[in-house]
Structure 1
Amino acid sequence: MNEEQKMSSIKRQNLIMKLLRDAEEPITGSEFAKQTNVSRQVIVQDVSILKAKKEPIMATSQGYVLLDKQKSQGLLERIVVCKHTPEQTQEELNIFVDHGVKVKDVIVEHAVYGDLTASVMVSNRAEAKRFIERIQETNAVYLSSLTNGIHLHTLEADTQEKLDAACDALKKAGILVE
């Protein structure tokens, strides 16, 4: 990489950080690519470099966010164990969000790698629908397919009652593992 390319990369990375700090919603790699006139792959590389420099960037199903902006004051978290088929994923997500609960991630235990955690960050039906559509569009497999449907979710809500109600609804749907 020559000096001019290095400066261009640094400017682009600074712009990415500025846009993320100012953003109200996640920003996709494609959106960054359009704004900086480079490929999405260049953006992925820039974000990887920023993460290596300890910038608190997280890739979610909706795009990139700063972890600092995602830290929630006064919210409660709970980890739950679920088991269902891939076809029931939409139902599971809808149960959570319909009860005012945000699904932060999905965790599965891999025989070789140990715990694998992926960001979900779904808090309403529109985000849940987009998440499912992205899985279908990319022909991706759900992490739970590695574990016969068993997986964990880290949940977040502003009251214990919302978490309890969501868990009760999951129990009734036969999705919650106790």
Structure 2
Amino acid sequence: MVAEDFSGRALTDVVVNRILLIEADAETAQSMKTLLESQKFTVLTAKDGGQAQSIFVMRKPDFVITELILKGDTGFEICERFKQTDKTVPVLVVSEIELDQAKKLASRVGADGYLVKPVQPEVLLSKIREIAENAWWEVHSDRPREDRRVRFSCSCGKRFRVSPVHRGKSLTCPECGEPTMVPIHD
């Protein structure tokens, strides 16, 4: 279900216009850019951390998609730096790295989502919408910030909502039995 604002437009249409795509592989970047532009997003591309930082500061994207393996800075470092600059801009990691440790580290540095390549177009678009809408509601919720629940997912897909007092702590997923770290970021 897609939330709608008063004008009847999908909430994602309202909150995400400009996407910063950080991808070192030119062919992958072009195919993702074409997909996103077909959905009426404006796509700004960067192939490394330096370009990404400049675009992030100067062009103020509404959403960031980053690969982890880049020249110079890693996607983890870029994500952490962006979240320190503006924690309201959602960051989605799309990478070939399938390791649980990579997913956990991405969550710890502030990533709002993680997808493993190759990604089906409908899965990518759905994840962008989900993350953007969650970010919008987080910023615009009437509840005081300290009363908000921390939302995150286990690598098996099980979703959690826990009290902020559990940030940085580990819990055992009832679905798969694996330990899952509660993100420390907002």
TM-score range, shorter chain: under 0.3
Higher helix share: 1
Q: Which has the larger radius of gyration?
A: 1
TM-score (normalised: structure 2): 0.25
Question: By percentage of residues, which structure has more strand?
Answer: 1
Structure with the bigger RCO (C-alpha within 8 Å, sep 6+) is: 1
